[in-house]
C-alpha cells in the first residue's frame, strides 16, 4: 500500500506508524506512507490554513489554497493518485473497502479534515469521501490510521500468519468466535471442553456456531449478506427459537 496523508498534525500519525505491524510492514517495503503538513503549502508569513466561514457560523474552515497547492505538488511526480477525504459525511468504511484498497495500484491520498470542515471547492479535487462511523471527531487523523491499519493487515507478508486474516471478524461476514488460552481454569471460569478435545471437526463446528450466536445477538444485520450454509441457517433458526423462549 502506498499513500500520502495531508494533515495539520503529522506527529499523531507518525507515532502509530512506527509501532507494531505497521512498523514491520514499512520496514519490509509493504507499506509506504508519506506525511505532509498543510502549513508547508501556505504562502503567508503566519502559515494560515483556516478562516471564518462565509455566511457566519461557529468555528473555522480550512482554506482551499493550501490543499490545492499540496495536491498540485504531489501530482508533479506523475504518479496516479486516488484522493480520499476523510469525513463523517462519507461512505462507510468496511472490510470490503479495505480489500479494495489493498489491491489499489494508485497511491492513495488521505486528506484529514479539521475544525468545522474543508472549503467545498476542494471537493473538485477529491475522488471520494469515506467515514469510519456516524460520529464526529476532532480531525481525520485517527480515521486515516484506522484505514491504513485495516488495509495493511491484508497485504501479503504483513502478518506472521496469513491464516489469521481468514479467521478474523468480518472476513467471513460474521463476528469472531471466542478465543481462549492457558490456564485451563481461572477464577472458576473454564475453557470449553470442546477446545481441549483435539477433535478438529467439532472445534470448527463449535466456533462457527459461536460466531453465528455472537453475530445474531450483536450484529444481526451482518447475517443478511453473510455466506450461510444450510447448516448455518438451521443453527440460526435454533438460536432464534431459543431467544424467543426466554
pTM (2 d.p.): 0.88
2-152 and 185-244 in the same fold? no
Q: Where do the structural domains in the chain lie, given as residue ranges?
A: 2-152, 185-244
Alpha helices in the chain (DSSP H): 10-17, 20-27, 64-75, 95-102, 141-152, 163-166, 200-218, 230-244
Instruction: List the beta bridge partners of residue 245.
Output: none
Q: What is the pLDDT of residues 132-170, one digit of tens each?
A: 999 999 999 999 999 999 999 999 999 977 666 665 656
Confidence of residue 223 (pLDDT cuts 50, 70, 90): very high
Q: How far apart are CA 183 and CA 191, in angstroms?
A: 8
> Which residues, at least 6 apart from 149, have a Cβ–Cβ distance to it below 8 Å?
16, 21, 22
Kindly state which CATH superfamily the domain 2-152 is placed in.
Answer: SPOUT methyltransferase, trefoil knot domain (3.40.1280.10)
| Pairwise pLDDT comparison (73 vs 246), residue with the higher score | 73
What cell was used for 82? Answer: 486516488
Quick one: pLDDT at residue 188? 96
CATH 1.10.1270.20 fits 185-244, yes or no: yes
How long is the chain?
Answer: 246
Amino acid at each position: 500500500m502506498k499513500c500520502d496523508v495531508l494533515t495539520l498534525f503529522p506527529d499523531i500519525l507518525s507515532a502509530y506508524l512506527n509501532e507494531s505491524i505497521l512498523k514491520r510492514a514499512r520496514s519490509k517495503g509493504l507499506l509506504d506512507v508519506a506525511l505532509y503538513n498543510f502549513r508547508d503549502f501556505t504562502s503567508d508569513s503566519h502559515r494560515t490554513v483556516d478562516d471564518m466561514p462565509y455566511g457566519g457560523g461557529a468555528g473555522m474552515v480550512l482554506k482551499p489554497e493550501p490543499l490545492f497547492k499540496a495536491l498540485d505538488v504531489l501530482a508533479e511526480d506523475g504518479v496516479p493518485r486516488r484522493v480520499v477525504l476523510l469525513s463523517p459525511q462519507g461512505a462507510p468504511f468496511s472490510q470490503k473497502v479495505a480489500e479494495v484498497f489493498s489491491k489499489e495500484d494508485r497511491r492513495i491520498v488521505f486528506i484529514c479534515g479539521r475544525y468545522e470542515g474543508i472549503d467545498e471547492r476542494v471537493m473538485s479535487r477529491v475522488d471520494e469521501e469515506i467515514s469510519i462511523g456516524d460520529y464526529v471527531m476532532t480531525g481525520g487523523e485517527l480515521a486515516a490510521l484506522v484505514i491504513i491499519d485495516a488495509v495493511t493487515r491484508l497485504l501479503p507478508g504483513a502478518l506472521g500468519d496469513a491464516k489469521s486474516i481468514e479467521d478474523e471478524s468480518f472476513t467471513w461476514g460474521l463476528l469472531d468466535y471466542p478465543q481462549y488460552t492457558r490456564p485451563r481454569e481461572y477464577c472458576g471460569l473454564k475453557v470449553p471442553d470442546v477446545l481441549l478435545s483435539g477433535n478438529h471437526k467439532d472445534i470448527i463446528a463449535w466456533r462457527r456456531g459461536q460466531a453465528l450466536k455472537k453475530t445474531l445477538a450483536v450484529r444481526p444485520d451482518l447475517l443478511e449478506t453473510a455466506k450461510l450454509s444450510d447448516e448455518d441457517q438451521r443453527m440460526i433458526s435454533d438460536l432464534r427459537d431459543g431467544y424467543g423462549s426466554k
